[in-house]
Structure 1
Amino acid sequence: MRIQIESTRIKRQKNFNGLRLFVISSVLLLLSQLAKIIAAKNPELVERYFSRGIYPFTSRIQTSFSNLFPFSLYEILIMLLVVYGLYRIVRLFRSISQRNFKTEGIRFLIHVYLFVSAGLFLFQFLWSLNNYRVPLKDQLGLTVKETSIEDLADTYKALIKSANETRALLSETQDTVSHPFKTKTVLTSAWMGYSQLAPEYPIFHGNRIRVKGLIFSRIQTISGYGGVYSFFTGEPNINVEPPLVTLPHTACHEIAHQMGITLEDEANYAGFLACINHPDVLFKYSGYLSALTFVGNSLYQQSPDLHRELSQLISDDIKSDQHQISLFWEKYENKAASDVADKVNEIYLKSNNQPEGMKSYGKFVDLLIADYLKDGII
């Protein structure tokens, strides 16, 4: 009799724990969605209290800790989650033979619900509310307008000139050849570009940030991506397999995310600014090369003939670099994997204040042209 009572008590306790986890999960989910709704309508409040208040404090703690490790904590976290997920699934299937599938199934669903709710809560309050801050163009005093083909062509010519000049300097030092030591230098020194910008633009900071090279870079390569920012560990992570000349801009792009610049076009532009202000010529060239690619693609869509004419001004060294980059991505192209990755990214971007989806990356061109117009470069 005593055993039966004890068994009933334990069962009730488990049911209570399950209900408690369900309630906690629901509260976390509600808070995260409520914060998102409020933030979307109040960019000034987000900027003042989160982006320049809470976020710099929490992200500095995260990044200071992750800087202690030369490897990516993000990758370790992903592996642990995969192992735990497999454990829960195996346990669920084992429950069939033990005749407690219903109980284990409910427990499994509650844990999934808790994981998703807690993940969304942390995502919002550790990083994603920055999606609703005051736009970067307003903070830097840029006037973005509808792009004319003349402005696009003038920007393309200006970028060709700058890229040709910086590439010529690299040709003298052979700094475009991929090597583990050079890759490590990119990872450890990318932050220095922002240290040059911080005195003029308060939105940036000059704190040391160690960019992590992904051990499983091949997964990103097959998916067609160059980097990822981990909001949980405060780490900018990059795919280290692509040609060396592309890595500096990718690294600076991911650092921009660490600084709370979440929108992809803004991160591309911030990364460009950091690169061209970096003391290392390789970074300068990487910034110009990336901008040249984006602007060139945009010009080609509007006027293939004009794009073809102006592209004749590009040096042979740059054309060789562009060819090597194309060959690299073609070699590892996996349409199925990249389509899935693009679809997931499209959904993510559109649900986080980037209605253009994947096209958001290309809107970097509008910011760049506004910058060049403001500075009188074109």
Structure 2
Amino acid sequence: MVVTNKNIFLKNKNWAIVLVAQFLFFYILSKLDFAVNFFSKLFEWKKSLHIAIFSKFNFSFGDLVYILITIILIYLVWGLIKNRNSKFLKYILISFNIFYFMYQCFWGMLYFQTPIINKLQKRKISDYEVKNLTLKYLELCKKTREKVSENKNGVFIIRDIRQLKLEILKQQKNLPQNISIKKPVTDLSVKPSLFDSFMNKTGILGYYNPFTAESQYNPNIPATQLPFTLAHEMSHQLGYAREQEASFIAYLYSKKTNNADLQYSAQLYILKSLLRSIAKNDKPFAESIIGKYSVKMKKDRENEVVFAEKNTGLISDFFGATNDLFLKTNQQDGQVSYSYFINLLLLYEL
């Protein structure tokens, strides 16, 4: 007897219905404050437990899990296509149900926490103030750049990456109480990704694994980007799901630190973010600021450009577009605008 595509689906419609019901269920929960608060508290418990467990591994355990899951899904999809057997579709749907449920419980619901911007006093900010802040960060970058180490080519290098990670953990304890009351992470669980070569081609600097509470980063990226990337991913680890909010928390780490590597990377990120925002309406001003970079800053910028050009291609374009879509579907600004981060920065600084 030949098993048709229709029969395969009908035999597994219950699992498809369960998946759709989950979409609806978590959508409704996302609108309820008590439910969001429950999952925030669940995350705090899960965070401590998972970091205690997976920090013991000196490699990314979560990446191995992703590899295993990918192999299993490829096997199931291939079996479905080749054999037209309903059990393969059943296992695929069960897998998606389990994955989606765990993702929402461990991470997805955190996107609906009270936005940080609601904790800041709102006011109208003028273009003049934004440009003055840009000039301020230009001077900060110049000053801090003189404190950091560099290689024989005069390009910024990180002195001690482990010490940098420990400094970020330390700064989690110093976050303003009116911004964050989340429990600081106590153990390092920040690791180089096993997919670093692939990440070079995607433009992805780092990512957080919600199932193991590990923060992964690409160790190959320019040193100017690495400290802030670590701070950003460790902000996810702390419990900030929104990308722009994770960047804002990473910026706060740099406010009180004496670690020049973290200071310089964060200040440079802020400067570039401000310039991107200004360039939409006043490109000549943005270009004039770039022209005022110190000689050492220009070498660092050239190093970033060389890395980006070397790894630009179809894959990086694809991942840039899909990441932008993901951000927008999770109540965030896309990667092009940076407006939410800039608003947080301006309301806090000015």
Please indicate the TM-score interval, normalised by the length of the shorter structure.
0.7 to 0.9
Say yes or no: does 1:217 pair with 2:208: no
Partner residue in 2 for 1:143: 122
Question: Residue in 2 aligned with 1:70?
Answer: 58
Alignment of 1:220-239 (within 5 A): 220-239=199-218
Question: What residue number does 2:38 align with?
Answer: 49
Relative to structure 1, is the Cα distance of residues 220 and 188 closer, same or farther in structure 2, using a 3 angstrom cutoff?
Answer: farther
- Alignment equivalent of 1:365, drawn from 327, 342, 348: 342
One-letter amino acid matched to 2:39: F
| 1:307-348 CA distance string (max 9 Å, x none) | 2333444322112211211111111111x1122212322332
* Aligned-partner residue type, residue 34 of structure 2: L
Is 1:81 matched with 2:69?
Answer: yes
What letter corresponds to residue 294 of structure 2 in structure 1?
S
Post-superposition CA distance 1:260-298 (Å, at most 9, x none):
211111111111111333331111111101111111121
- What is the rounded CA distance, in whole Å, between the counterparts of 1:59 and 1:342 in structure 2? 28
Amino acid at match of 2:21: L
TM-score, length of structure 1 as denominator length:
0.81
- The number of residue pairs the alignment matches comes to 340
Structure 2: give runs of 5+ residues left out of the alignment.
1-6
Contact 1:167 1:318 in 2 (8 A): yes
Letter in 2 for 1:49: F
CA 1:362 to 1:176, structure 2 compared with 1: closer, same or farther past 3 Å? Answer: farther
Q: Greater share of helix residues, 1 or 2?
A: 1
Distance 1:263 1:193, change over 3 A: same
Counterpart Cα distance in 2 of 1:127 and 1:251: 19
- Write the letter of the residue equivalent to 1:213: P
CA pair 275-218 structure 1, distance change in 2 beyond 3 A: farther
The equivalent of 1:107 in structure 2 is 87
CA shift in 2, pair 1:162/1:177, >3 Å: closer
Alignment partners' CA distance in 2, 1:38 and 1:256:
24
Q: Which amino acid aligns with 1:37?
A: I
2:230 equivalent among 251, 254, 258: 251
1 CA distance for matches of 2:156 and 2:136?
26
One-letter identity of the residue aligned with 2:267? Y
| Counterpart residue number, 1:270 | 249
Distance 2:96 2:166 in 1: 33
Q: Equivalent residue for 1:123?
A: 103
Match of 1:30 among 3, 12, 21: 21
Deviations 1:221-269 (A, max 9, x none): 2011101111111111111111122111111111111222111111111
In structure 2, do the counterparts of structure 1 residues 144 and 340 end up closer, same or farther at CA, with 3 Å as the change threshold?
Answer: farther
Distance in 2 between the 1:258 and 1:320 partners?
Answer: 32
Q: Cα–Cα, structure 1 residues 237 and 361, in superposed 2: closer, same or farther, change >3 Å?
A: farther
User: Which structure: larger Rg?
Assistant: 1
**1:223, 1:124 → 2: CA distance?**
25
> Are 2:269 and 1:290 aligned?
yes
Structure 1 match to 2:143: 165
Contact 1:212 1:238 in 2 (8 A): yes
How far apart are residue 217 of structure 1 and its match? 0.9
Tell me, yes or no, if the aligned pair for 2:244 and 2:338 is still in contact at 8 Å. Answer: yes
Range moving further from structure 2, 79-88 or 241-250: 79-88
Work out whether residues 277 and 338 of structure 2, in 8 Å CA contact, stay in contact via their aligned partners in 1: no
Calculate percent identity across the aligned residue pairs.
Answer: 22
Normalising by structure 2, what TM-score? 0.86
Distance 1:169 1:321 in 2: 14
